[in-house]
Structure 1
Amino acid sequence: MKSWLLLSIGLMLILEGIMPLFLPEGWRNTFKKMITMKGGQIRFMGFISFSLGLIFLFLGR
């Protein structure tokens, strides 16, 4: 269980770091756009991301 958790956190950090590593300007522009969004829009994006993550976890089992 512990190794599974460490592997998943490591994979998340790798995926989170791809865009700022290879496309720093695109990453910056994305965050500028997010600042102008309303809280509900950001929550909805978080919900979609969370839901897709759960689906991928269940499919990967």
Structure 2
Amino acid sequence: MSSAQLREHGGGAAGLTALTLVRVIGRQSGWADVWRAELDALRRYDDPDTAEQALLVDPGDGW
């Protein structure tokens, strides 16, 4: 299941799982545009815990 599919599924557990995927693969990819976009989407996620945790992710320089 992709992070986008998890976001579409909805709910806190799905959102946090999607965020974990985005963190890991985002870092591995050097924060390619697709993973930056997923992180942005999770920052606007309906679950406040997921959105807050996504805001705390720092993709580093070049963001």
Relative to the length of structure 1, the TM-score reads 0.32
Say which one has the larger Rg. 1
Q: TM-score, normalising length from structure 2? A: 0.31
Going by fraction, where is helix more abundant, 1 or 2?
Answer: 1
Which of 1 and 2 has higher RCO (CA within 8 Å, sep 6+)? 2
